[in-house]
Amino acid sequence: MNVVAELLQATKALVECLRQPVEKDKRDAVIEQVEELLEKREQLLKQLPHPLTDEQKQIGKELLSLDREANELLRELKQQIQQDLKQTKQTKIAAERYDEVYDSLAIDGMFYDKRR
């Protein structure tokens, strides 16, 4: 199999992986798989022959459209992750504010009697 066909297969696999809905608890596995496919594509891009044949140019056009779709799907995944991080940060801040209210009430366990 030539390099261009392998690159096309790797790109198709990447797009299919990104098209699948990603659950939060399985996101790490999906990100690992995406990283592996991107690394494979990078290696294949380095091996591309410089004078491309007409057939390889046709495959290249398909590769470009798949690459645009993959970039858009990667952007969406990034936005989901950023949104989750933002939500986690807001939850953490809210919990800290809740705890701060009760921290100021503690007075070393002492009781002051105001009557004389």
Determine the residue type at 82: Q
How many structural domains compose the chain?
1
Residue 109 lies in a domain: no
Backbone angles phi, psi at 112, to 5 degrees: -105, 125
Residue 80 lies in a domain: yes
Each residue's pLDDT tens digit, 11-29? 999 999 888 888 888 888 8
CA 102 from centroid of its chain's CA atoms? 37
CA separation for the pair 53, 62 (Å, rounded): 15
Residue 112 lies in a domain: no
Residue 113 lies in a domain: no
Domain span including residue 53:
3-103
Tell me if residue 21 falls in helix, strand or coil. coil
Residue 57 lies in a domain: yes
Q: Other C-beta atoms within 10 Å of 84: how many?
A: 12
Each residue's pLDDT tens digit, 34-76? 899 999 999 988 888 778 788 888 888 888 899 999 999 999 9
Residue 116 lies in a domain: no
Residue 110 lies in a domain: no
Tell me if residue 15 falls in helix, strand or coil. helix
